[in-house]
Structure formats: C-alpha cells, structure tokens
Amino acid sequence: MAEEQQKKKHKKRRTATKAAASIGPMVKEFIAGTIRAREEGTHKLAYTFIVCCHEEILYALDVLPVWTENFAGVCGAKRDAERFLQRAESLGFSRSLCTYALCGLGFDQWREELGEMPPDAPWGGQARPDFMISSGQILCDPRSKWYQAAQQFMPDVPIYNIDLPYPLFDPKRDHREVWGYYHKYIVKELRGLIAFVEEQTGKKMDYDRLKELVELSDKTWNLIEETYDLRAAVPCPMGTGDAMNTMVPLCFKMATQEAYDFFLNLREELKEKIAKGEGEVPEEKYRLMWGGGLPAWYALSDFNYFNSKGASFPVETTYRMVAPIHEMDIPETDDPVEHLAWRWLGYWTFWYDKARKRPGSEPDVERLIEYIERYKIDGVVMHEAFSCRTWHVGLIWQLHQLAKIYKPIPVLMLGEDGKEKPGKREIPSLILESDIIDITSYSEVDTRNKIDAFIETLESIKKSRIG
C-alpha cells in the first residue's frame, strides 16, 4: 500500500494564499544558497535546529544555518525519504528513532561515502557543514544526539551544544521567582556560543549588528502575531495547510528582512481577502484547530480534503513559535544577548499566569482554550507522529483536559436574535496517526475515513446546537 502511494503521482496541495504558494522557491533558494556558499567558500555553514534562539548570532557572524530538520522535511514532502531512512537502518539505527534524524544520517553517510551529493538529491542536497550546533532543550534527544551520530561520518566537524532550559510550570509558584537564575544560565550559554562561532569563523562579534538583528526579529514576532490573528475572521482567509508553508520564514528565516517583508505582504493579502469576504473554503461550515503534532509532510493534501468538506483551519499551535513581545512581562535591557535570553523565557512561560488562574489547568491547555475562543473553533485535530516523541507526548492528555471544560452538557447559549436558547457546547477531537516523513506509516484511505467520520460528528453537534 505505502509503496503504491509513493509511486503514485502525488498531487501538490492547493494553497489559499499567494504568500504560501511562494514558499517553494524560497526554500529551494536557501538550500541552493548553502550549496553555493560551500562551493565558493563565501560563508561558514552550521548544521542546526529550529527554535534555538540563535539565528541572530549566526547571521551577525555571517554564518549560514543548514536546517537539518528542514532538509529531512523536504525529502518527506517530495516522498523521497525512504532510501535515506533505509540507509540509516542499514547502519544500525532503529526506525523507531526520530525519522528526521534517520533521514539526515542516511543522507550524510551517503554523501560522505561518495564525496559528492547522492544521486538525484532532493533540491540539490544538504551541504556539508563546517560545524554543528546541537541543543539540549525541550527533552528532544535527537537535538543533542543526532549530530554526535553524524560525527561518525564527519569526524573533523566540531559540535557546540547549547543548553536552553526554562522553568517548568508549577501551579503554586510564580515562575518569576526563579527565572533570574535561568536567565543568567542562558546568557552564559549564548556567550559560549558566540565565542565558539568567533573561533570557527575567525570573526569578532559586531554587537551593534547583533542588536539590529534582534530588533528585526522582535518586530517580526509581533507582526506574525498580528497577521495570524487576522485568520480569526469569518470566513477564515488562510488555513493551517498554508501555515505549514508560512512556517518557513517563521522558523528558518527569522532575523532577516526577507521574513519581515514576507509577513508584511501576507498581512496585506489577508486584509484584502477579508475585505472581499474570501475564505479558505467557499462555504465555511466548520472551523477547526490543528491542536498539536508535526504534520505528515507527504500528505499535506489532506488539508485540501478537509477543505472539500467545508472545514477550515483558522489556527494551529504547531510552528507558531512566537508570542507578542509587548505582552511578555520581561525586563528591558540594552544588551542583545540578555534580551535573547529574556525573550526565550518570555515565550516558554507565556501561558503560565493564565494556567495558574484555572485550577487543574496547564499552559498548553490554556493556549488551546484561548485559541478555541479567539478563533471560534468547532473541533480540534491533532496528529500523533510516531517518531517524534518530543512534540507529541501529552497531546492526548491535553485533549482529555479540554474535554473536562467543553462538556457535551446542555447550556444556555445566545441565539442570533440575542435571546438565550438551550444548546450544547462541545468540542470534538480527531487524532490522526502516521509520521512526519515515514510514508510507510500512512494510509490515505484510513486517514480519509477518519476525517469523514469526524465531519459527521461535527455536523451532528452543529445540528444539536441549533436545535
């Protein structure tokens, strides 16, 4: 079944916005840019991970990041990951590990063995790095172990590991009591990274340039929040399918003018669509939230399938790795490194105050509740990708917590005429299961059957609300 799916000519996902349609060339260009830089020796290249609070430092020292998760995702989206996964397995790595890491390791070993890119490497391939920056945050084991494994094939390429902790949520304790300690530690880690990159590049950090880049990212964070909030409009002008494209400038181009301009254009495009009453789907019937889980990159057209049933996705938690800076209660500082550390802590503790106010709640659940209300959500969809334990642990628990709040019990609701009517406030959920890039874990038929059944549930709840 899976092989047939791979061989079958895969239809590209239709996008709702011009901005999302422009992402393919952007990704191609930044991958090509790293390959050019390698050939021409213009920049040092660093393998690294998203959400590590360090883009500004790399760009300020003229280092180009090679986003290894991105390249694996590209292989997955092109349905061309299997040969790299199998190669990694033949080297003794288990298929149950993170498949991004497996794909990257299979690719790297092949490239190093050949001394050139493997045949027909997706979008030109992944360039050999000068150094690798791993990270010890958010319990993701591949973030610290992947590059150590890659060193077997590239023993001359050094690694710098950056540790990025944040205080865990404690309902009885204000995180501000301890975050000064975390801040000190993170600043030390970031200064260590700067010293390492200075040594690797032979350049000295220009702190004015770093400050400009940090300010540019701050502006972009706020702009993204403002832009994504426009999606609360009814009908919704842009869904999660498109957001899985617009995550590219958010996660891979932060601290660049290109990312800022991209979101300026997207904001204008969404405003125009709202003014014209243009939705992601022509007749919006259901508003869904992608409540967690990385997507199956080879099956993004499932979003079009949801759309064909009148379901739109105004919001997602996945890859929305920003929060409004002006709403973060973080101390002001002129030092860009200190600010980076505060912004990191501000982001990871952003929902803590709200969660403390609701007994039994948790920050991740509070975020879901806030989005359900703000984006007028009828149902929640999550994806359990088997090989990424980091982002997927706890998703089902979050749904259980939500079910305690949005119970299928009769309540009084305001009708269109402004009068109270009996109805039910219930938020059904759907859990899809497969993987980020391992297509052998996916069945289109089963997935679509599940979606059909979920749509039927949404329809019957809608009817009971009206009744």
Q: Does 142 bind ligand SF4 (CB under 6 A)?
A: yes
Shortest gap between Cβ of 438 and ligand SF4 (angstroms)?
11
Shortest gap between Cβ of 319 and ligand SF4 (angstroms)?
11
Shortest gap between Cβ of 180 and ligand SF4 (angstroms)?
28
Q: Does 108 bind ligand SF4 (CB under 6 A)?
A: no
Contacts of 44 (CB under 8 A, 6+ apart): 62, 63, 64, 130, 131, 200, 201
Orientation of helix 99-114 relative to helix 141-150, angle to 10°: 10
Stretch that binds ligand SF4, among 57-65, 136-144, 217-225, 375-383 (CB under 6 A): 136-144
Stretch that binds ligand SF4, among 153-161, 186-194, 384-392, 407-415 (CB under 6 A): 384-392
Of the candidates 390, 440, 441, 457, which one interacts with ligand SF4 according to CB under 6 A? Answer: 390
Of the candidates 66, 251, 274, 388, which one interacts with ligand SF4 according to CB under 6 A? Answer: 388
Sheet holding 311-316, edge to edge: 311-316, 286-292, 379-385, 429-434
Shortest gap between Cβ of 127 and ligand SF4 (angstroms)?
19
Shortest gap between Cβ of 208 and ligand SF4 (angstroms)?
33
Distances (CA, A) of 75 to 38, 104, 187: 21, 10, 35
Q: Which structure tokens are listed for 250?
A: 């958010």
Q: Build a one-symbol-per-residue string for 345-374: x at contacts with ligand SF4 by CB under 6 A, - elsewhere.
A: ------------------------------
Q: In angstroms, how far is CA 401 from the centroid of its own chain?
A: 23
Q: Give the angle 125-130-134 at the CA atoms, nearest 5°.
A: 90
Shortest gap between Cβ of 389 and ligand SF4 (angstroms)?
6
Of the candidates 87, 143, 175, 253, which one interacts with ligand SF4 according to CB under 6 A? Answer: 143
Q: Which structure tokens are listed for 209?
A: 């340039």
Per-residue three-class SS string for 412-439: EEECCCCCEEEEECCCCEEEEEECCCCH
Place of tokens 């150590």: 148
Stretch that binds ligand SF4, among 20-28, 96-104, 266-274, 334-342 (CB under 6 A): 96-104
Closest CA to 167 of 432, 387, 350: 350
Closest CA to 259 of 248, 270, 243: 248
Coil, helix or strand at residue 460 = helix
Q: For ligand SF4, which is the closer residue by CB, 390 or 441? A: 390
- Determine contact, residues 455/309, Cβ cutoff 8 Å: yes
Q: Does 69 bind ligand SF4 (CB under 6 A)?
A: yes
Q: Build a one-symbol-per-residue string for 401-440: x at contacts with ligand SF4 by CB under 6 A, - elsewhere.
A: -----------------------------------x----
> How many residues interact with ligand SF4 (rule CB under 6 A)?
11
**Binding residues for ligand SF4 (CB under 6 A):** 69, 98, 100-101, 140, 142-143, 388, 390-391, 436
